[in-house]
Structure formats: C-alpha cells, structure tokens
Structure 1
C-alpha cells in the first residue's frame, strides 16, 4: 500500500468522527459562535465597544475632584467636531495617546491639548490653531489606528503628534489583537470558516468567555486588568526577556507607527513622534517596590529606543519629552499626579516642548 493510500485510510476515521461530532453537536443544540461583548461597567465615562474594546461615552460630562470633564458628541475630549468646517487660515494639530494625553486628573481648560493650542496660538501669529485631542485612556497604537480611520482623518489635520507608548508596552491581562479577536470572532476567513462548526463553537465559546473575564473587575469584560499566567511573572528584573508579552509586541508597535506614517502622508499631514515621560525620568519613584538600578530595563525602554531608531531611519521628527521633563524648573514631584500621568504643570511642560520643537523645525 502506498504512503498516500495509508494516509487516506488514516484520515477517513478522523473525518467520520468529526462529521458525527458535528451532527451530534447540532442535534443537541450546541451554541453557535458569537462575539464576546466588551463591558466597561463602573469605568467612569467609558462604554464597551466591539471595535475598540472600550471608548469614551459620547456627550458625557462628569465632575471629579480634579474638575469637569466633557466628552463631545463623537466621543472625544475636544471641542471641535469632524463636521466643523476648516477655515482658510486654520491649522489643525492632532495628538494621539492614552490617559496621559486624554488629560487624566486635569480639568477642562488645563489639559495638555488645550495648553498646546494656547501655546501654538501665542507663538505662531497669523493662523488659527485647533488641537484635536485623540487621547483615550488605555489606548494603544492598535486602537488609535482604528480611531484615526473612523474619526481622526475626518478632522483634516495638518500635523499629527503621536504620543503612544505606555499602553503598548504595558503588560496586561491580554494582548490587543487577541482581545479584539474575541470581540470580532469573524475577523478573518479562517475564523469565519471554523465558526460555522457547532462542534468547534461548543469548545471555543467557553474558552473565549473565560479569557474575556480573566482577572477582570466584577461585571467587566475585555477591559484592562491584572496580568495573569506568564504575564504575572514579569518582574522588573525579567522585563527585558518577556517584552513580547506586552499588549502590543514591539515589532507590531513599529508596524503600527509605520501605518500611521503612511496614512498621515496620504492625508497631507506631517507626523511627529513624542513618546511620553514618566516620574522616573525626573528621579521620582513612587511604585510600591524598590527603585530600579541605573542600568535597569523598564518596560518602555526598548520601545523608546526602537522608536528613536525607527524615526531617525524615516526622517520623522522626534520630541524628547523625557529630556524636557528632566530639564524643567521646579519640584519634579509636582510634574506627575502618579507614576505616569502628568499634572497640569506636566501638561504645560509637554506643550512647551512640542512648541519649542516646532519653532526649531518649522
């Protein structure tokens, strides 16, 4: 008997078992594959969303100890709407990122985006500047790319300032592509084919629900949570060996930046990268663990280094925010409200650094 015939005879029982299993699954009413619905229960201003996992609730206003936060009708913390006509002397600047760009702990009127708009207006006379805040808490480059596609480019920005880094390098309970696949299970031809099988779905759905709720707060699904499994072992001492566990692996992060670059060019926008700073950049460490060694690799270090090489190789301007914070006057303990979120003063430092760069590189 030839090898081919032996293989065929070996596969026939397997195929028969699969057919019988599929028939039994349908006869017993096994569930069909379905998307896992993201739920942001209890997360102020946020709602679950299958395309982004979470997003800002449109039209929402809330008051916190820091002041008032208003979300516009398209779900951004910015006054301008994409339908607002662009004036002949108007220059639109768009800033992307996570909660540090959104303005976590900063009241309306004092966010980084608003301070940047005021500084641009003060330093570049003869134009009307509007800064569009595309920052959303927890957003990685994966989510930001989708937000640019759905809303960002409709604003017709002239300048795109990309701050994304911390939510990409963060080691969380999930990686973005895996989580988005749970929310959109039919996203690829292979998944669409598999999901036609009730036998497959009978095994896949319990696993998907387990993954989506792993280490989540009560009544939350597919939201940022506490690392688990191999992620939980990612100590400072080992961070350089587990960087692929980050929400967006480093190579994917660079690919996403490259896609932003291509899209910005297609829409006639200049792109500048300005990776965010955090408290250790100014010698402050409030984490509940010993301070890092001088040569310690922290989660964002490989991303900063790779981003610098990526930008230099493509001629993309780069604003060094960590250096700007390190050189700023005043008590560095007042530059951040916690380990990474800039205070109102910190937002001012960011705005000044971007404007200084644009003045030096018009």
Structure 2
C-alpha cells in the first residue's frame, strides 16, 4: 500500500479546513439573518419605548412639606388605574396622611403589639389593593399566630422616600409618641442606594413640569482622532453584526452572574447610604426604640443574565455588609423571594422591576413574622 504524498495530505487538510470554514460562515450568516429579520432578544418589543408607566402617581395624593419636601395628603380618597392590566386600585389616606383604613392615635390600648413600617412605594403598596399591602398581610399573619394578642401594623410608607426622608418622617410625626414595639425599615435596594444624593421632590412623584428646550450650544472643535489599532478597527466592523453584539453582551452577563465582572459603583453614594443607616440607628437609640431592617431584592436577581444583574447584586451586597458592620438586626429576603419563588416564576412575585404582587407581599409578611419571633418581639 502506497503512503499518501505530503502534498496530497496537505491538500486534503486544506480542503477540510475550507469546508469547515464555509460551514461556520453559513451558520453565522443564518444566525445573523435570524437576528435581523426574525427575533433579536436585545431589541425592545415594538412600542415599548412609549409604554405608559405601571403606576401613575397623582398630584392630588401629595402635598408640599417644608421638612420632608412632600408628604401624602391626609384624609384623601382616590382611584388609580394600574397600567399593567387596567385594574382600578382604591387608595385612602388616614388622619396623618398614611395609607390605611384607620386613623393612627398616640398611646396604646391594653397590651397592643404595635409595629411601625417605614419604606417607599413598596411599603405604601403601589399597584395592589390596601388589603394586599405588606402591612396588612403582616397584621393578619401576626394575629393568626397570636390570636390573644392585639396587633397594629402602621404603614408609614411614602412613595419615593429614601432613608434620610424616612428618618425625618420619624421626627416630624414624633414616632416615639406611638410607642412602637418595633420599627421595621424596609429597604428597596434598587431604589434607595444613594437616595440622599438626590432627594425626590413633589415634582418627581406627582409629575414633572415640561422640560424647557435647551438653547443650542456653541460648536466645539472636533477633537483630533487618536491612532486606532488594527484590533479596534476589526472590532468596529464586527459591532455592526448583531450576532457579535449578542455574543459580547451575553459574555459580559455571564461574567456578571459569576461575580467576575467589574461594575461602576459610586463611592459617594455608598458613603451617603451608610450615613443614612447610621443616623436611623442613632435616632432609634436616642429614643429607646427598637429598629430592624428588611432588605427587598429587585426582580433582576432572579435573572442573572440580565444586563443590570451585576450592578444590583453589588448594591444588595453593599447593604448586607453595611448592616452587618453596623451591628444592626436585618432580614435578608433573597432566599424566600428570589431563590424559593421568583426563580421559578418572577411574574407571580413582581409586577414590575421592584414592586411586589399580592403573593410577593404575603411571602414578605410571613418572613417578617418569622424574623420578629427570632428577635423576641412580644
């Protein structure tokens, strides 16, 4: 048997490489055509940019406040239309301007257990009827566990508030006078991080005035273009391909999910957020009040390949580590909200990126009740 000549073997190898290369190119071309004309997961759905917000705030619900910037208007009743499904949500505020069906009065009757919930629109109950809010679900849960114990959960949630405004709220309404057995600060980590750097105003929550058109800026001299490397020139060409863009995006998302991707994290926002937590704890200590914190993870923590996952994970970790460092009592809701529920079906738990459905609020209430038992709250 004659051995193949080296030239023949080389030709066979080259033909194989050429066939493989053509197959890869045809496959990539098919993927590119599919992404351009059939479905691209990075493209927003048609009309998404003009979709109305899920929760439309109304100016009639708020009023100016010299200390807080704004507050909920007392003794107000109105209806909201939830944009996600058109459901009508009735909202009523009590004598103090908090979302509740009953008024809050100073002093306790008998041996009432009183819990004060601080928070933003999540505690307020954006997008759900009053009976499905965290406060009401918690009150029912505590009453079911301790039927002989009178219980009152006060909902001091105000949409748009961060921890600085929540501390001011405790001062403005003289929280110690209500003798709460426990103050629970519910932190929506996705919203609250660095809130002190830019406190929300009445215009932010009740509708912004029209933005005036900016006057044209004088033309600036175009900067001289630096020398571009060959690799960067190739990347610029590849970025026009949707298949390349998709691969690059998901490569970065996988790194983020594995915790191996650097994310921009504001040291100034971290410092301000820590200071807010310290001041809340100082207020509680000065007034002999027991305070604990509840961390609510955003929906994106259930979808590690989303673009914002790495950043939101970093923020959530910041709050966890900071509360540990401050020696605060705090409840981590990620195991029950994300690991045990939202990982399977996020739409059942969240109705947008941060707000919870009735089922999500019930899960939170049960977890808080367990947490309170561990704290030894009577």
Superposition TM-score, scaled by structure 2 size? 0.61
**How many Å separate the matches in 2 of 1:100 and 1:41?**
14
**How many Å separate the matches in 2 of 1:251 and 1:125?**
43
Q: 1:46-98: per-residue Cα shift (whole Å, max 9, x none)?
A: 22333222211111111233431111121111345443431231111111111
Match of 1:349 in 2: 363
**Other structure's SS at 2:130 match:** coil
Trace 1:1-362 onto structure 2 (pairs within 5 A): 42-64=58-80, 65-151=87-173, 152-164=175-187, 165-169=189-193, 175-176=198-199, 217-218=208-209, 240-241=263-264, 243=266, 249-283=269-303, 291-292=306-307, 296-298=310-312, 301-329=313-341, 331-362=345-376
CA contact (8 A) 2:296 2:334 kept: yes
Structure number with greater CO (CA < 8 Å, separation at least 6) is 1
Q: Residues 41 and 333 from structure 1, CA distance in 2 versus in 1: closer, same or farther, beyond 3 angstroms?
A: closer
**Other structure's SS at 2:284 match:** helix
**How many Å separate the matches in 2 of 1:269 and 1:125?**
25
C-alpha root-mean-square deviation of aligned residues, in Å? 3.3
CA contact (8 A) 1:319 1:357 kept: yes
* Residue 317 of structure 1, CA deviation: 1.9
Q: 1:90-137: per-residue Cα shift (whole Å, max 9, x none)?
A: 111111111011100111211111001111111234321111111111
**How many Å separate the matches in 1 of 2:57 and 2:366?**
37
Match of 2:18 in 1: none
* Residue 171 of structure 1, CA deviation: 7.6
**Other structure's SS at 1:274 match:** strand
Q: Residues 252 and 121 from structure 1, CA distance in 2 versus in 1: closer, same or farther, beyond 3 angstroms?
A: same
Please identify the structure whose Cα radius of gyration is greater. 2
* Residue 351 of structure 1, CA deviation: 0.4
Larger displacement relative to structure 2 (48-57 or 76-85): 76-85
* Residue 244 of structure 1, CA deviation: 5.0
**Other structure's SS at 1:78 match:** coil
Q: Which runs of 5+ in 2 are unaligned?
A: 1-55, 81-86, 212-252
**Ranges of 4+ aligned residues in structure 1 off by more than 6 Å:** 236-239
**Other structure's SS at 2:59 match:** coil
Superposition TM-score, scaled by structure 1 size? 0.64
CA contact (8 A) 2:100 2:130 kept: no
CA contact (8 A) 1:158 1:268 kept: no
CA contact (8 A) 2:182 2:290 kept: yes
* Residue 335 of structure 1, CA deviation: 0.6
Larger displacement relative to structure 2 (265-274 or 138-147): 265-274
Match of 1:32 in 2: none
* Residue 239 of structure 1, CA deviation: 9.4
Give the total of aligned pairs: 263
* Residue 306 of structure 1, CA deviation: 3.0
**How many Å separate the matches in 1 of 2:348 and 2:314?**
27
**How many Å separate the matches in 2 of 1:80 and 1:154?**
18
Q: Residues 302 and 242 from structure 1, CA distance in 2 versus in 1: closer, same or farther, beyond 3 angstroms?
A: closer
* Residue 167 of structure 1, CA deviation: 3.3
**How many Å separate the matches in 1 of 2:365 and 2:57?**
33
* Residue 360 of structure 1, CA deviation: 3.2
**Other structure's SS at 2:131 match:** coil
**How many Å separate the matches in 1 of 2:308 and 2:169?**
38
**Other structure's SS at 2:122 match:** helix
**How many Å separate the matches in 2 of 1:43 and 1:242?**
33
**Other structure's SS at 1:148 match:** helix
Match of 1:7 in 2: none
**How many Å separate the matches in 2 of 1:171 and 1:360?**
30
